[in-house]
Structure 1
Amino acid sequence: MADSPTVPRLILASNSPRRRQLLSELGLSYEIRLREVDESFPPHLARAEVAEYLAAHKAAAYAPDLAPQELVITADTIVCLDEDVLNKPTDEAEAVQMLLRLQGRAHDVYTGVCLLHGDGRQVVFSDQTRVHFRPLTVAEIEHYVRQYRPLDKAGAYGAQDWIGMVAVTRLEGSYFNVMGLPVHRVWEELVKLGAVGV
């Protein structure tokens, strides 16, 4: 297990500081590797399939360069309101509009994860969390967008930010999944792959 010479070297293919924090808090050592990957997806996919598709699509971009003893972790988080997928807002105005739609309602957050081993083994999974927002005023939303500029976040918010403290009334599922990585599932799958051990 942990002292085996065959334990793969972990690669985190993400620029997200939240994902870096969560993997570090698991006690895992990893290397960051980044490249630009198109994040569009086929429109016919079901909501849970979108997050898994994007995670696997990202991993495929790293596959040609993976050494046999490397394992890349890719992830993608989407926010869904009814049947609409709310991606990262393009500007502050769109962020405000997204939050006006989310306020006072429940929505779903899906994070898809792909673990791709250099030997060709691949695991793709997703986790879902239902998030309940209390009603928010326009002033509260504009304050959050202006102060925290959540343009790099799906759905225009981060649960770990100010808005998470004042708006989220209830979660059904993993809080860490809303942050961007369902760490309980990641740990479980890494154990199965022999990538971690305690």
Structure 2
Amino acid sequence: MKAQIILASASPRRRELLDQIGIAYEVWPVDINESPKVNEAPVDYVRRIAAEKSEVCHRLSAHRGLPVLGADTAVILNGRIMGKPKDKVDALAMLHRLSGQTHQVMSAVSLRGRTHGEALSVTEVTFREISEQEMLAYWATTEPADKAGCYAIQGLGSVFVQAIEGSFSGVVGLPLFETAELLLQQGIQILHE
């Protein structure tokens, strides 16, 4: 199938989600500085990173003539961004903070083509209490090592999730409702004959 968009991300989870809704894409990951700015609010951060990814990739791939999709996802607890764990100690500290708490997952999407559209998904995720033994066993699986907030809701991390209010796909890394709306604005339909 001929590519309909360019995905400005190397994330296998975003590829799986686009596959799920039948969108053909080319992968063009871009290397940008993803450090938060001083006093930058989490919502501003995820929107900025998604927009920068789509902007840089759009410039680099302009000769392809395809819309470019950039996205960013952040796990937020008590107003602070929880990135990917640096090591085991950092991972266990993150899981301790998330245990028995409700946090937010913000996923921003930026699509550049004939027009530029942006969308934001905010999901509330509540974790049950997690024992020290479970935290150690989860870290040993290697699943949380490269995940924002130190867990994968689509994987083993799902056993910690007591409740979710919002977009499951947004927590995975690409909110499909919002993405489909942006694609439609570019003339790309998900469901058609």
Match of 2:128 in 1: 134
Matched residues in 1 for 2:58 and 2:12: separation? 23
Moved more, 17-26 or 34-43: 34-43
TM value normalised by structure 2: 0.92
Residue 8 of structure 1 and its aligned partner are, at CA, apart by: 8.1
Q: Which runs of 5+ in 1 are unaligned?
A: 1-6
Task: Answer 1 or 2: higher relative contact order, Cα 8 Å, separation at least 6.
Answer: 1
Moved more, 71-80 or 39-48: 39-48
Alignment match of 2:70 (pick from 71, 74, 93):
74
- How large is the Cα RMSD of the aligned pairs? 1.7
Residue 43 of structure 1 and its aligned partner are, at CA, apart by: 2.6
Residue 170 of structure 1 and its aligned partner are, at CA, apart by: 0.5
Is residue 98–residue 155 contact of structure 1 (8 Å, CA) maintained in 2? yes
Q: Matched residue pairs, number?
A: 189
Matched residues in 2 for 1:114 and 1:35: separation? 14
Are residues 1:103 and 2:99 paired? yes
Is residue 74–residue 83 contact of structure 2 (8 Å, CA) maintained in 1? yes
Alignment match of 1:176 (pick from 166, 169, 179):
169
Q: How does 1:88-127 map to 2 (within 5 A)?
A: 88-117=84-113, 119=114, 121-127=115-121
Percent identity of the aligned residues? 34
Is residue 92–residue 146 contact of structure 1 (8 Å, CA) maintained in 2? no
Q: Secondary structure at the match of 1:195?
A: coil
Q: Secondary structure at the match of 1:113?
A: strand
